[in-house]
Amino acid sequence: MTNSIGPDRFKTLVFFQPVPSYLGRISGKSGGNMLGMGNWESNAVMWTGGVALIDSNDEVLAVAQALLNKMSAQIKDFAESVGGSVDLIYLNYADASQDPLGSYGRDQVQFLRDVATKYDPSGAFQTRIPGGFKIGGVP
């Protein structure tokens, strides 16, 4: 990135958070969890990355996003190559291009749809509240 943007024009952040597989087993004993962690056979590491640009423009932003996407794909490929990939996309770390709610699993998504229908039958929180990820947007 330093060659295409310049080292004085950006700062990076990468945050790693361990997620031990026993969390899924413990939550299963208490009724389960919405993140679909009950099936995990091994530990996981959630991560998020970001780039803060100084004096950016659309071209610099596009370069930074492309490089961040490339890094993300490389991390995913590595995780898959060592049998360490899980489907979960943590909502708080998700990018707008991702589907974190869909990553929870089919049963959890259906549960969320049922709860939304029961407690918000008019869909106000799905249509009248801006931003965020909505259950109506899950394929």
Domain range list for the chain: 2-88
pLDDT tens by residue, 53-84: 887 778 888 888 888 889 989 999 998 898 88
Confidence (pLDDT) at 99: 94
**What is the DSSP annotation of 76-130?**
HHHHHHTT-------GGG--TTS-TTGGG-HHHHHHHHHHHHHH-TT-HHHHTS-
Residue 37 has pLDDT above 90, yes or no: no
25-34, 35-44, 91-100, 109-118: which has the highest mean pLDDT? 109-118
Confidence (pLDDT) at 3: 64
Spatial separation of the C-alpha atoms in residues 100 and 90, rounded to whole Å? 6
Percent of the chain with pLDDT over 90: 31
Look at residues 43, 45, 53, 2 and name the one whose alpha carbon lies nearest to residue 22.
43
Spatial separation of the C-alpha atoms in residues 31 and 9, rounded to whole Å? 48
